[in-house]
Structure 1
Amino acid sequence: MKRLFCSFLLILITAAPAYASIQSGQWKYYREVRSSKEGFVLISTDKDLLEKAQKELSDLRLTDDEGREIPYQAVRQESPREYSYPPLLIDVVTRDNSSSLTLDLSKTGILHNEISLDIENNEDYLRDVTVEGSNDNSSWSLIKKDKLFYVPPDFKKSKLSYTPVSFRYLRLTVDCSGKKPLRITGAGVKYVPPLNNIITKTIPVNQQPPRNDLKTKTTEIIIDLGTKGYQVDHIDLKTDSPNFYRRVEIYESDDAKEWSLLTSDRIYAYQWPGYQASSDSISVHLNTGRYLKAVINNQDSPPLDVRAEVYGEAPELLASLTAGNYKLWYGNPLAGRPRYDLDQFSGMIDKIGLENISPGPEQVNPEYKEKISPENSKHLVNATVIIAALVIGFIILKSLKSKPTQ
């Protein structure tokens, strides 16, 4: 009996699956990558690769012509940098009908196009503001007329954007005629690259017809990107409807059944004599599943007729190469995400101006042999254990029955 029990334990222990070390024969597809010089490069991916690779590109491997693994890091397109210029606040003046302040950037020639204001006020307000520029703090040129507003608890406009200028001094005059003056306690000046300089690629999508839910008072728009893995920068929700304000949630999914929240924001458009403002863009900056869903909260207002435009791109791979031939492997459901030293410092590398390499066409690996997936392997192990238990149980039972009675 003791011998049979030990045999039973041995079978259970050795029934666990054992996987071979990773070899190129475990990858179904590859593409050739050719580098003409030494240094960091960006390797492009595309829709077909994203579709056949594992989620989050966990199965991507890069090897040289001798089969050695080369570290890489998936990165998003490098955005032009923002530049901040802390100004000095001078000539802060508050009158019955207006309040004004002058900002000094300390020198001329600094390009800027945005002012953000720190305003202490707990009540709602709407004020006209005039922005002027000067290089001598004496003669002034009009930059822009705009509005500042605040609607509790958190809807406000305290940033003023304008065409890039290089004035040293900026003067802001807030019209408070018949209203309580605003208390401005601080300001910041920036140069913010225009959105069309950051990313201009539109991802082709298939948008399902909007679905209006009368119970939840929402409009749902499901967007099919065609594959998982795109790095979505932002989503524009276009409509011709005037004067609206709606909260929007953006969700993602791999199967259009199970959804995860990505982000939330507002879209709005205001237009009346003397004032116009709008925002239809929702920032995402994330890798997403194949499907996106925009949920627009209508409350008791009529639904908007909205069409979606998605901006982003397939990820790029940062790698340090020498001149030579390489292979980019994908299509291995058993491969886990690799971890390289490059993960720790890839963000420090300036990617603007790096050579961009487009891999060759997809090729099927003739050495590929399909392996048992982890899920199927789990089922196989369970079945093996059950069968082993039944066999051992049968042997034990047979042994007990055949034992002569005393």
Structure 2
Amino acid sequence: MHVRTHFLIPFFLCFLPAYTVAQQAFLYKAQVGPVAASGYHRIELPPDLVGRLHEGLGDIRLYDGRKREIPYVMTRQTGVQATAFITYEVVRKTNVPNVSTTIVVKRPSRQPITALGVESQNTEVEKKATLSGSHDGNVWYALDDGIRLGNNTNATTTATLQTITFPLTDYTYFRLVVNDSTSAPLNIRRIGNYGQTNASAHYTPIPGLQFTQHDSSDHYTYLVLNRPSPARIDRLTIHVSNPAQFRRQAAFGHKFTETVARKRHQRPVLRQSFDPLIPFTLSSTGDTTITLPSVLTEKLCLRIANNDDAPLRVGRINAAQVTTYLTANLQAATTYQLQFGSMLAPGPVYDLAFFNDQLSGTLPIASVSNLTNWSGSPLSTSADESTDPFEFHQIALWVAILGIILLMGVMTYRMLTGMTREQQDA
């Protein structure tokens, strides 16, 4: 007795990856472009999009009209400290033909230094120069009278940076005099030095933030934050309308409501608790802005300790996210699509990430529009949140399970029918 059921195996296996596919499917989409000219563009991501990405922000893909995946580099303008060439201010530049060129520069700080960088156009001409320093720009003191500039070429750029070294000094002004008695002057483009620069973070406002204020009997004020659709908050600014002078200890955290069981025949009671995450001082003489670690707008709360003072009157609270954008090579007159929002989609790996330093500078901006869920409903309200990602994957799982159960039932029925027929034939 043998019942042939191997022909059903392909149908059985087709259900196995159903849940995995559902987990990696993107829930939302948006339109990018078209752009006026081909080349690299910045695609700035709005708060309604960033709020629907998972914690690593890697569940987003860019596709062209032919459904081809377009590589990108994601940048968050968080502000960093870096070493960069700092160009000094040119206070005076004079040229006496066939005699000399004199350049006076001013440093932005009094931090002692031991070198200057002089960038000049490539040349094979060498010139003698002298360097002196001054605290006020009027009285000058010698630093080096044996400098040789020029006679340098660069095969990859049109200019070369030469370093002039000298003893440690804190002069504010420097004067460079180049001898031009034997040839035309050098094309000196800038003078400066390498130093630490602090790039400020850039923020994008998050509209639609709402809050309710509750002044509790325990001498605390609770500000419960909410927004119709999710967003990732990196900064909050609290505007207090009254009183004019205040200094209160505050904390940012989560507020919970829990049911506490009581004795038999007594109704349970609701108890609220607060879990502080980030303490800070709210002061009229200081900054009323708090920086957050990119938190989602879910069960967020600010707690202000009033002590014996009257509660503060908060007029408004402004939220912002760190400006987040994708850099990608876009073609003119082409519409692109962003797909985003997935529980398990891994972050993409593109070669473009290794060339990010070559994509810096001012780039044209490509707009993002028409944010919708997969069925095409706009994401401007909380209506799209009725299909929660977790709920979506749960539904997909149950569909796959029911499909497998149904298939197994059909297989069992056919096996039993085959056995019955074989017994009747016997």
Normalising by the residue count of structure 1, what TM-score does the alignment of the two structures yield? 0.51
Deviations 1:285-336, CA, capped at 9 Å, x for gaps: 52x4344623315274554333422133663212234556341233786993
Aligned residue among 394, 398, 402 for 1:375: 394
Distance 2:46 2:12 in 1: 45
State whether structure 2 residue 296 is matched by structure 1 residue 293.
Answer: no
- Equivalent in the alignment of 2:37: 36
Larger Rg: 2
Q: Name the structure 1 match of 2:214.
A: 211
Per-residue CA deviation, residues 230-260 of structure 1 (Å, 9 max, x unaligned), is 4x3311223344343313124599xxxxx99
Query: Which secondary structure does the structure 2 equivalent of 1:202 belong to?
Result: strand
Quick one: structure 1 residues 347 and 228, their matched pair in 2 at CA, closer, same or farther if it must change by over 3 Å?
farther
Determine if contact 1:199/1:311 at 8 Å carries over to the other structure. Answer: no
Answering whether residue 406 of structure 2 is matched by residue 387 of structure 1, we say yes
Distance 1:59 1:190, change over 3 A: closer
Output the CA distance in 1 between the equivalents of 2:75 and 2:413: 58
The verdict on how the C-alpha distance between 1:329 and 1:375 changes in structure 2, with shifts beyond 3 A counting, is same
- Seen in structure 2, the aligned counterparts of structure 1 residues 199 and 260 have a Cα distance that, compared at 3 Å, is farther
Query: 1:345 Cα shift?
Result: 4.2
**Contact 1:78 1:352 survives alignment (8 Å):** no
Counterpart in the other structure of 1:75: 75
Equivalent of 2:312, from 299, 304, 307? Answer: 304
The answer as to whether partners of 1:262 and 1:284 remain within 8 angstroms in 2 is no
Separation in structure 2 between the aligned mates of residue 389 and residue 5 of structure 1, nearest angstrom:
11
1:46 aligns with 2:9: no
Please give the secondary structure, in 2, of the residue aligned with 1:36.
Answer: coil
Equivalent residue number for residue 363 of structure 2: 354
| Code of the aligned partner of 1:210 | Q
Instruction: Report the residue type matching 1:265 in the other structure.
Output: P
Change (3 A) 1:65 1:2: closer
Matched to 2:247, the amino acid is: F
**Of residues 260, 266, 269 in structure 1, which corresponds to 2:280?**
266
Q: Distance in 1 between matches of 2:224 and 2:375?
A: 40
Take 2:274 and 2:339, find their aligned partners in 1: how far apart are those partners? 26
* CA pair 269-29 structure 1, distance change in 2 beyond 3 A: closer
CA 1:363–1:208: 2 relative to 1, 3 Å: closer
Q: Conserved in 2, the CA contact under 8 Å of 1:62 and 1:329?
A: yes
Give the unaligned 5+ runs of structure 2.
Answer: 85-104, 112-133, 137-168, 172-194, 257-272, 377-390
Partner Cα distance (1:260, 1:298) in 2: 13
What is the number of residues matched between the two proteins?
A: 289
Partner of 1:209, secondary structure, is strand
- Structure 1 residues 325 and 364: alpha-carbon distance in aligned structure 2, compared to 1, 3 A threshold: same
Question: Aligned in 2, Cα 1:366/1:55: closer, same or farther, shift over 3 Å?
Answer: closer
Q: 2-side partners of 1:397 and 1:382: how far apart?
A: 22
For residues 78-110 of structure 1, what are the alpha-carbon distances to aligned partners after superposition, in whole Å with 9 as ceiling and x for unaligned? Answer: 6475779xxxxxxxxxxxxxxxxxxxxxx9723
Q: Which residue does 2:226 correspond to in 1?
A: 224
Aligned AA (2:62): L
Secondary structure at the counterpart of residue 325 of structure 1: coil
- The one-letter code sitting in structure 2 at the alignment partner of 1:33 is P
Tell whether the 8 Å contact from 1:17 to 1:377 is kept in structure 2 after alignment: no
Question: Root-mean-square deviation (CA), in Å?
Answer: 5.5
Q: Which runs of 5+ in 1 are unaligned?
A: 85-106, 114-133, 137-166, 170-188, 254-258, 271-276
1:179 corresponds to? none
Deviation at 1:63, TM superposition (A): 3.2
Q: Secondary structure of 1:354's partner?
A: coil
Q: Which residue of 2 aligns with 1:101?
A: none
* 1:346–1:378 Cα change, 3 Å: farther
SS of 1:316 mapped into structure 2: strand
| CA distance, structure 2, for counterparts of residue 364 and residue 350 of structure 1 | 30
Quick one: distance in 2 between partners of 1:243 and 1:367? Answer: 50
Counterpart position of 1:110: 108
Alpha-carbon distance in 2 for matches of 1:28, 1:201 = 21
CA distance in 1, matches of 2:324, 2:255: 17
User: Which SS does the other structure have where 1:279 is aligned?
Assistant: coil
In structure 2, relative to structure 1, the CA distance for the partners of 1:400 and 1:211 (3 Å cut) is farther
CA 1:202/1:381 → structure 2, altered by over 3 Å: closer, same or farther?
closer
Could you report, residue by residue, the CA deviation over 1:141-188 in whole angstroms, capped at 9, with x for unpaired residues? xxxxxxxxxxxxxxxxxxxxxxxxxx959xxxxxxxxxxxxxxxxxxx
Q: Does structure 2 conserve the Cα–Cα contact (< 8 Å) formed by 1:218 and 1:295?
A: no
Question: How does 1:124-163 map onto structure 2 within 5 Å?
Answer: none
Q: Is the 8 A contact 1:248 1:296 kept in 2?
A: yes
8 Å Cα contact 1:55-1:228 kept in structure 2 = no
* Residues in 1 aligned to 2:228 and 2:46: alpha-carbon distance in whole angstroms: 12
The structure-2 alpha-carbon separation of the partners of 1:201 and 1:111, relative to structure 1 and needing over 3 Å to count, comes to: farther
Secondary structure of the structure 2 residue equivalent to 1:278: coil
The residue type equivalent to 2:205 in the other structure is T
